Amino acid sequence: MKTIENISRMTTFVKMMKKEGRSIGLVPTMGCLHEGHMSLVRAAKKHTDVVVMSIFVNPIQFGPKEDFEKYPRDLKRDEELARDAGVDVIFYPSLKDMYPEGYATYVTIEALTKNLCGGSRPGHFSGVATVVTKLFNIVKPNIAYFGQKDMQQALMIKKMAADLNMDLEVKIMPTVRGKGGLAMSSRNMYLSETESKDAVILHQSLKQAESLIKGQERDAKKIIKTIEDMIKSKPTAKIDYVAIVDTKELRDVKTISGEIMIALAVFFGNTRLIDNITIAVK
């Protein structure tokens, strides 16, 4: 495994791989790797010849009161995990290389970004779309891999790739869960022991909602109320949003029908966690 810290060297490597006819899989990350990231690497190894993992904590997707400065960074640990998982190249660009002085170009996606996390984190998805576009242009992957935990982000990137005729496939892989069903996230390390125990209510409430739908409940408002009541039973929890949306435009629905996503964002102490499930209803 090699670590490349310079954009020009990365593009040279990509040209060499393409000349040899080798396909490239990209796993974009902000580091602080966990099993969720490793599952994306394993998928990439099955489908492509060369697996590139980018590690870059992207400042333009963080709001002014968010955790950019304290976001966990440990390249040595990440390199060990990536090597064990079979990553071929870590792309670890500097902030100055990615956003040089005078940088002024940003990608904005109108659809899919106004609701859910888009309402809570203005500017976040433009920051994500911009950095992912840059990574796609630098690495030129045949396939890029994203996790369902960040489903709104993944759907947005999939639409961006289609709308801008990007020559690649975006694969959305299942959420990886830890003890109690808590979705794997780099931010889980911020949780205290009590907050970590409380946070399993997210998956529990989503599974309860799924059970209600399987039992023929179709009133979205009632299902949301059930989820909110379960989450509010935990003393460290503070709800940002709970929503039920369609999976094509991510608009709130009143009645459950077709394919829907139940999505939520909840603070446990100062740590904001997200989760979701998708359900198809005939």
> Do 39 and 92 share a structural domain?
yes
> Do 246 and 127 share a structural domain?
no
Domain final position from 117, 145, 173: 173
Other Cβ atoms less than 10 A from the Cβ of 3: the count is 16
Angle between helix axes 220-232 and 201-214 (nearest 10 degrees) is 150
DSSP symbols for 205-255: HHHHHHHHHHTT--BHHHHHHHHHHHHHTSTTEEEEEEEEEETTT--B-SB
Range of the domain at 270: 179-274
> Do 134 and 253 share a structural domain?
no
Q: Domain count of the chain?
A: 2
Q: Does a structural domain hold residue 236?
A: yes
Q: Does a structural domain hold residue 139?
A: yes
CATH of residue 75 = 3.40.50.620
Yes or no: say if 277 and 210 are a contact pair by the CB < 8 Å rule: yes
Domain final position from 130, 154, 173: 173
Q: Is the pTM above the cut of 0.85?
A: yes
Q: Which residues contact 259 (CB under 8 A, 6 or more apart)?
A: 246, 247, 278, 279, 280, 281
Q: Does a structural domain hold residue 281?
A: no
Sequential pLDDT tens for the chain (282 residues)? 999 999 999 999 999 999 999 999 999 999 999 999 999 999 999 999 999 999 999 999 999 889 899 898 999 999 999 999 999 999 999 999 999 999 999 999 988 999 999 999 999 999 999 999 999 999 999 999 999 999 999 999 999 999 999 999 999 999 999 989 999 999 999 999 999 999 999 999 999 999 999 999 999 999 999 999 999 999 999 999 999 999 999 999 999 999 999 999 999 999 999 999 999 998
Give the catalytic positions in this structure: 37
